[in-house]
């Protein structure tokens, strides 16, 4: 039963009323519209797709042969958008060059990973704010907010936002809205830039350092640790534990088509850790010798569901079956008030052609010679994220400590208001 959520970030108070009527929400929504990013589009709604096409900067690719179940998700913007965007390089007046550069990096996949994307975006916004000057007869609050909104819609077109980025944007917009009107323009800009710096330092850098210390206490000598894909926090934990002298082995599990684990493997091996590399199909064969599983997350929802790279749910499930504890390491700024029960209603589609190709093996091209008639019956699906139920997770390591998955809504409720008000 599909319950498509219409907005990315519901108002914090009304989150408990999960299936609220749209009529009741409308006036509340309108008040909070300035705080929220624009409502997320359902791509099977024809009229809104057409409206968005007219407004968008990129050429939307035609919806060809998509899987029925995932038709409400935005189609993948593959590299074919790049020439179009490049040819308009000098014509995009409203775009700041650093925001444009970050957008291009998202589009081509040069930058990936929740923390990195969030940091890159915030640093680009910092530069944009520094170069910003208020046009006459406009207030800084409103104009800058609408400019940031423009940047955000450009970034969304390049690649859909991750939850961490959504929270960061909400923070930034609330800071702009709360600027006292008595400040001069340069003071306001300096205040915003220092706020962004503080956000990055406190929510990401310091949070990571706290997570490192907590998680390292859970690693004992002789452990065999399993990690999936490439999460920057987990990598830092492993390197830190190695530095403080713990003896352990690492099993790096990877999956097609992104093969993200290979980059992490290279970095771990370069530092001297002894690693084993395997793919997801071998997870149940490897799990019997593993003592702990460390996973990263893109976001954690209020019911304790972990939203992370596709394949994480399988790893957690197999670990649970083998009675291996699963530790999810995630900074608290990635928590979200939403509740998601499955991986279908909200996800991200990747490049479908990547599924049919194997890098480095040109001879594996069995799907290239299909006739058009045959191609009509074949639908390629490349999902990027999946949702891991909270039953499979033992503990979540955050900068507020090590909490069980059921405590996530508490953190969201208690600490979210606090950081919005600082």
Partner 1 sequence: MDFQVVVLAGGSSKNLTPLVSKELPKPLLPVANRPVLSYVLHQLEQNNLKDLIVVVEGEDTALVVGAWISGTFIDRLHVEIAAVPEDIGTAGAIRAISHHLTAKDILVVSGDLVSDVPPGAVAATHRRHDAAVTAMLSSIPVSGPLDSGSSGGKDKAKKLGRYNIIGLDPGKQFLLHIATGAEIEKDARLPKHILRAVGQMEIRSDLMDAHMYAFKRSVLQEVLDLKDTFQSLKEDVLPYLVRSQLKSEALSNRTPQGEENGNEKVTSQNNQVFVSRILANSSTPSFHDHSSENPDGSAPTRKTHKCCAYIASSGSYCVRLNSIQAFMDINRDVTGEADHLLTGTSSDPNNNIGPSPKLGTKTTVGPHCMLGEGSEIGDKCQVKRSVIGRHCRIGSHVKVVNSVVMNHVTIGDGCIIQSSVVCSNVQLQERVVLKDCQVGAGFVVTAGSEYKAESLARKEK
Q: Residues in the site for partner 1, rule: CB under 8 A?
A: 83, 85-92, 97, 100-101, 104-105, 108-113, 115-117, 119-120, 200-201, 204-205, 208, 230, 232, 235, 263, 267, 270-271
Sign for the pseudo-dihedral over CA of 231, 234, 240, 246: negative
Around 196, how many Cα atoms within 13 Å sit in the side-chain half-sphere?
23
Sign for the pseudo-dihedral over CA of 169, 201, 412, 408: positive
| Residue 57 dihedral angles phi and psi, to the nearest 5° | -90, -30
Q: Which is nearer to partner 1, 3 or 186 (CB)?
A: 186
Q: How far is the CB of 205 from partner 1 (least distance, A)?
A: 5
Q: Which is nearer to partner 1, 129 or 393 (CB)?
A: 129
Q: How far is the CB of 34 from partner 1 (least distance, A)?
A: 29
Q: Which is nearer to partner 1, 38 or 359 (CB)?
A: 359
What residues contact 248, with CB distance under 8 A and at least 6 apart? 219, 220, 221, 222, 223, 224, 225, 241, 242, 273
Q: How far is the CB of 200 from partner 1 (least distance, A)?
A: 7
Q: How far is the CB of 189 from partner 1 (least distance, A)?
A: 17
φ/ψ region of 226 (left if φ > 0, alpha if ψ in -120 to 50, else beta) reads beta
Q: How far is the CB of 103 from partner 1 (least distance, A)?
A: 10
Q: How far is the CB of 49 from partner 1 (least distance, A)?
A: 27
Q: Which is nearer to partner 1, 20 or 112 (CB)?
A: 112
- What are the residues facing 329 on neighbouring strands? 296, 397
Take residue 287 and report the two structure tokens written for it. Answer: 């799990």
Q: Which is nearer to partner 1, 268 or 396 (CB)?
A: 268
What residues contact 148, with CB distance under 8 A and at least 6 apart? 125, 128, 169, 172, 173, 176
Q: Which helix (DSSP H) or strand (DSSP E) does residue 116 occupy?
A: helix 114-130
Distance CA 174, CA 34 (A): 9
Q: Which is nearer to partner 1, 105 or 299 (CB)?
A: 105
Distance CA 279, CA 263 (A): 14
Q: How far is the CB of 87 from partner 1 (least distance, A)?
A: 4
Q: Which is nearer to partner 1, 301 or 385 (CB)?
A: 385
């Amino acid at each position: 039963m599909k319950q498509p959520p219409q907005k990315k970030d519901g108002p914090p108070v009304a989150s408990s009323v999960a299936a609220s009527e749209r009529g009741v929400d409308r006036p509340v929504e309108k008040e909070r519209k300035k705080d929220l990013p624009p409502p997320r589009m359902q791509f099977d709604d024809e009229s809104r797709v057409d409206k968005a096409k007219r407004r968008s900067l990129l050429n939307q690719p035609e919806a060809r042969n998509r899987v029925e179940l995932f038709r409400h998700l935005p189609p993948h913007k593959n590299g074919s958008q790049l020439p179009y965007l490049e040819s308009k390089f000098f014509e995009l007046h409203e775009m700041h060059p650093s925001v444009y550069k970050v957008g291009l990096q998202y589009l081509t996949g040069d930058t990936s990973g929740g923390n990195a994307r969030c940091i890159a975006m915030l640093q680009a916004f910092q530069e944009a704010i520094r170069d910003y000057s208020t046009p006459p007869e406009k207030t800084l609050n409103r104009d800058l907010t609408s400019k940031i909104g423009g940047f955000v819609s450009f970034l969304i077109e390049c690649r859909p936002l991750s939850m961490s980025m959504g929270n960061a944007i909400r923070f930034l917009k609330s800071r702009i809205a709360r600027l006292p009107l008595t400040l001069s323009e340069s003071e306001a800009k300096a205040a915003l830039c220092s706020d962004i710096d503080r956000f990055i330092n406190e929510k990401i850098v310091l949070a990571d350092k706290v997570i490192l210390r907590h998680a390292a206490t859970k690693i004992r000598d002789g452990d065999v640790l399993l990690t999936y894909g490439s999460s920057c926090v987990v990598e830092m934990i492993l390197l830190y534990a190695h530095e403080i002298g713990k003896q352990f082995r690492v099993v790096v599990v990877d999956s097609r088509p992104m093969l993200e684990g290979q980059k992490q493997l290279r970095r771990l091996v370069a530092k001297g850790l002894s690693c084993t590399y395997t793919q997801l199909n071998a997870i149940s064969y490897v799990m019997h010798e593993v003592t702990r599983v460390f996973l990263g997350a893109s976001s954690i929802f209020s019911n304790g569901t972990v939203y992370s790279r596709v394949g994480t749910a399988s790893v957690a499930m197999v670990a649970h079956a083998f009675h291996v504890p699963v530790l999810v390491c995630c900074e608290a700024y990635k928590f979200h008030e939403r509740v998601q029960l499955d991986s279908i209603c909200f996800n991200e589609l990747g490049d479908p052609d990547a599924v049919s190709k194997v890098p480095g093996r040109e001879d594996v091209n069995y799907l290239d010679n299909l006739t058009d008639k045959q191609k009509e019956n074949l639908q390629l699906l490349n999902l990027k994220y999946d949702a891991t139920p909270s039953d499979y997770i033992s503990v979540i390591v955050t900068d507020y400590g090590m909490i069980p998955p059921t405590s996530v809504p508490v953190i969201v409720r208690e600490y979210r208001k606090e950081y919005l008000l600082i």
